[in-house]
Amino acid sequence: METNPEFYGLPSRVQLEALAENHLAIRKVIKSRIIRKDAEKIAETARKIKSVTPGVEVTLICTTNICSKSIALLASEGVGIQYF
């Protein structure tokens, strides 16, 4: 799985990790809470990844500081959440 963000047309500051075959993770490490505005940007990133490689599963890796509206938005977009 390609983990170079430029391959997907994303900014170079986006951190991608290959979790398994056809499974990518977006790593978002911020000290503050992930709010809905952040979740909308993450969902847009996931849509760009899925447009380049259809059938890929996208997961967000973040801390537990994420609001419930963000969780609901990401779930509706098909983006899983994994905490570390």
CATH number at residue 77: 3.40.1350.10
Q: Please tell me the predicted confidence (pLDDT) of residue 40.
A: 98
Q: What is the number of domains present in the chain?
A: 1
Q: Which helix (H) or strand (E) holds 24?
A: strand 23-27
pLDDT (tens digit, 9 = 90+) per residue, 19-49?
Answer: 999 999 999 988 899 999 999 999 999 999 9
| Average pLDDT of the chain, as a whole number | 96
Domain range enclosing 51 = 5-83
Q: Which helix (H) or strand (E) holds 69?
A: helix 68-76
Contacts of 37 (CB under 8 A, 6+ apart): none
Is pTM, for the whole model, over 0.85?
A: yes
Residue where the block lists tokens 């419930």: 68
